[in-house]
Amino acid sequence: MSQLLSAHRLTGSARKNVSKLKSFHSGRSSPFLLHELANLPEHRQSPDTPLNPYTPKYQSHIPSSSIQKLVIAVGSAFTALAVPTRADMVAALGETTGPYALGRIRDKMMADAVGRRILREKPVVDSATVDLDALRQLPNGTFGREYVRWLDAEGVGPDSREPVKYVDDAVLAYVMQRYRQVHDFWHVVTGMSVSVEAELAVKWWEFAHHGMPVALLSGVFGPLRLTAQQRERLLTVYVPWALRNAGRGKYPMNVYYEEKWEMPLEELRKELGVEAVPAL
C-alpha cells in the first residue's frame, strides 16, 4: 500500500488551576491554517497554473486518487477486522469512507454558532492543550474531573489519536480530527468504558448522530468478537439505547467541551440529551 502511494507523497485553587488550561487559537501554528500557508511564496500559483491534486493540503496529508483510496479502504477494512487494535487501519478506513458524512457534519457545525466557532478556532485536544493535573483539582462530579478520572481508570491519554492523512479537504480533515479527539469525551458522557462491548455501544451512538460509515462497520462486525450473551445484550439493550438517544439534545460536535470542564457532568448529559445508560 505504501508503494502505491509513494509516487504521490510529498516531502478557587481549582478555578485558578483551570485558568491555566491552554486553549487552541488561530494564532497558534496549525496544519489546518491554510490561509497562512497560501500567503507563502512556495504556495502561490499564477492564475494560469493548473492546480495539482496531489499537493498536500495540510501537514499530515497524503494525497491519493480515488482508486488509491479504494485500495486503502479495502485493505484497512480487512486488517482492522483481523486486528481490531490496529488504530491506524481503523483511522484509514474512517477517512477513506467518510467524506460525505464529514460534509454533513461540517454543515451541521456551520449551522450552529458554537459549531462555527469551533471550525474557526480549531481547538486541539492533546496533552499540550489540556492540563490534566489542573482537572484533577476540580470537584468530583464535574465534567473535567470525571474526564481525567476516566482516563486514569482506563489507562488512556489524550495523545492516542492518529493524525488525519487521507481526507483531501482541509476543513473536513479538521472535522475528522475533532471527531476523533472528542471521542473520549463521549465515553465519559455516556458512562462507557473501553471494553469491546462498551466501545461498540458508543460506536452505535456515534453512528446514530453522525452517520460515519466506519462507526456502522464497527457496530456490525465488532459483535463477532463478543460472546453470545454479550451480543444479545448489545443488540437488545445498547443499540436501542444508542438510537433512542440520537437527536434528543445538542448535536455532540457543536459542544465546546473544553469550556465545560467545571460544568457538572449530569448537566452536560442533559444538554446532550443522554439518558442513563444501562450498566454493562
The C-alpha atoms of residue 93 and residue 26 are separated, in whole angstroms, by 29
Q: 279: burial class by Cβ within 10 Å (0-12, 13-18, 19+)?
A: exposed
Residues at the binding site for Zn(2+) are 183-184, 187, 199
Q: Which residues pair with 99 in a beta bridge?
A: none
Residues at the binding site are 183-184, 187, 199
The C-alpha atoms of residue 115 and residue 251 are separated, in whole angstroms, by 9
Handedness of CA 122, 126, 131, 136 (dihedral sign): positive
- What are the C-alpha distances in Å from 116 to residues 29, 30, 40, 171, 269? 20, 18, 26, 12, 22
Record the cell numbers describing residue 253, joined without a space: 460536535
Could you tell me if 266 and 141 are in contact, meaning their C-beta atoms sit under 8 angstroms apart? yes
Record the cell numbers describing residue 162, joined without a space: 492518529
Q: Give the residue carrying C-alpha cell 473501553.
A: 194
Handedness of CA 179, 183, 265, 157 (dihedral sign): negative
Q: Assign residue 211 a region (left: φ > 0; alpha: ψ between -120 and 50; beta: otherwise).
A: left
The C-alpha atoms of residue 34 and residue 251 are separated, in whole angstroms, by 27
